[in-house]
Amino acid sequence: MHQKVVLLDLENNSPNIKLLRDIIEHYPVLYVFNCSGKFEFSLPDLTEFSAWVTSGQIVILDTPTSPHKEFEYAVIVGQLLALLEHPAHVELISAMDSSVMLRKMLEASNISCSLIQVESGQQGAALATKSHLPSIEAIKSKPNLLLVKKYCDALDSMSGKPSTIDGLKNSITNILQQTPEQAQHLVGMLINLRLVKCQDNHIHFRKKVLKQWIGLDLNAVTPAHSPLLDQVITELKNTINQKDEDVETIQSVQHDLFKNFARIDPVQLEVARKLRELKSDKPKDIYALRDLLEQLFPQSDIRLLLKELIEKGYIYWNGHEILYSHEMFLN
């Protein structure tokens, strides 16, 4: 029985928290990565996301930045080879055209993979316009967020707004009928939600964010699924009970990958085997690799060997550390 997991590419693809909930409901582990190096969630959603990371339900993969996608993807494949139990099947969700390359690299490493291609930025634009707003469901379910919404609505009808921290606390105390301690907590929430910008003891309201909060209709019926969510969940459910992919398909991919290996110098093949045996202990420094190869192959021209490994794409030197291609992780 194949272990089945989801690999979510967050580059140009910003899923909402509902999508992540539904994936975690159907799969034991969700692996996420972003070759651009970052991703964003609203503060309330980030709390839930952090809990999944802490529990191990979501695993964030390391993604070194490189001008060559194949090297970034090789690092992803190497991590999955170490993390997954074999045999394994990966559902890859990505908005990147280059994700086809990642799917082929996974299959070449004996990891069965299906690709779900989504539209680039379909949710990213929506998330960017309301990046600081919790969902309507979150506001309704959390009393403090309801108080924030109530205070924003009150500000809309006020002729003058507080300009100091003390004035804001007094305003919250009077309008929302809160204790000083509760008012202090709500001041902190207004700052964290980026409604208020504080400098020394003076504050000012961010007009665009405040306008978004005022414009929220808590009685509006929100759709249970977005088009992207429907697409991903439908395709995931269709594959949950799908039979294992035909072995001949994987072998044909491997044949294309290895068809030029006959022309490779036998020493290079031995280098690949030796490096693969080191697993995560492979040298990161080019000089450390040179010294290791000199010990293992004292009769070989190590400089020429390194030059050929770089030219043929088996290793990549970015000026700081060595990145190994996916061939170095294969049996």
What's the pLDDT at 153?
Answer: 92
Q: Do 21 and 123 fall into the same domain?
A: yes
User: Are 66 and 159 in the same domain?
Assistant: no
114 and 30 within one domain: yes
Same domain? For 17 and 102 the reply is yes
In a domain, residue 329? The reply is no
Q: pTM surpassing 0.85?
A: no
pLDDT at res. 261: 44
- Asked if residue 208 is part of any domain, the answer here is yes
Instruction: Identify whether 330 is part of a domain.
Output: no
Six-digit token pair at 114?
A: 């299906």
Peptide bond just before 64 cis, omega within 30 deg: no
Same-domain pairing of 149 and 118: no
Same domain, yes or no: 37 and 142: no
Q: Are residues 9 and 106 in the same domain?
A: yes
The DSSP code for 164 is B
The CATH number of the domain where 22 resides is what? Answer: 3.40.50
Domain count, the chain: 3
54 plus 96 within the same structural domain: yes
Secondary structure tally for the chain: helices H, strands E: 15, 9
The predicted structure's pLDDT at residue 7: 92
Q: Is residue 237 part of a domain?
A: yes
Range of the domain at 75: 3-127+225-252
Query: Is 155 within a domain?
Result: yes
For 41, phi and psi rounded to 5 degrees? -135, 160
Q: Sort 177 into a burial class: Cβ within 10 Å, 0-12 / 13-18 / 19+.
A: exposed
Give the pLDDT of residue 246: 47
Q: What stretches in the chain show pLDDT beneath 70? A: 1-2, 35-39, 120-132, 220-268, 318-319, 326-331
For residues 22 and 165, state if they share a domain. Answer: no
Q: How many CB atoms lie within 10 A of CB 27?
A: 17
Verify that 246 and 270 share a domain, yes or no.
no
Token pair of 8, please?
């979510």
CATH assignment of the domain containing 192:
1.10.10
* 201 and 282 co-located in one domain: no
On whether residue 62 sits in a domain, the answer given is yes
| Residue 289 maps to a domain | yes
| pLDDT recorded at residue 136 | 80
247 assigned to some structural domain: yes
Which residue is it, tokens 């030059």?
Answer: 307
Residue 165 identity: I
Indicate whether 67 and 102 sit together in one domain.
Answer: yes
CA gap 52, 190 in Å, rounded: 26
Q: Which of 32, 78, 81 is nearest to 52 (CA)?
A: 32
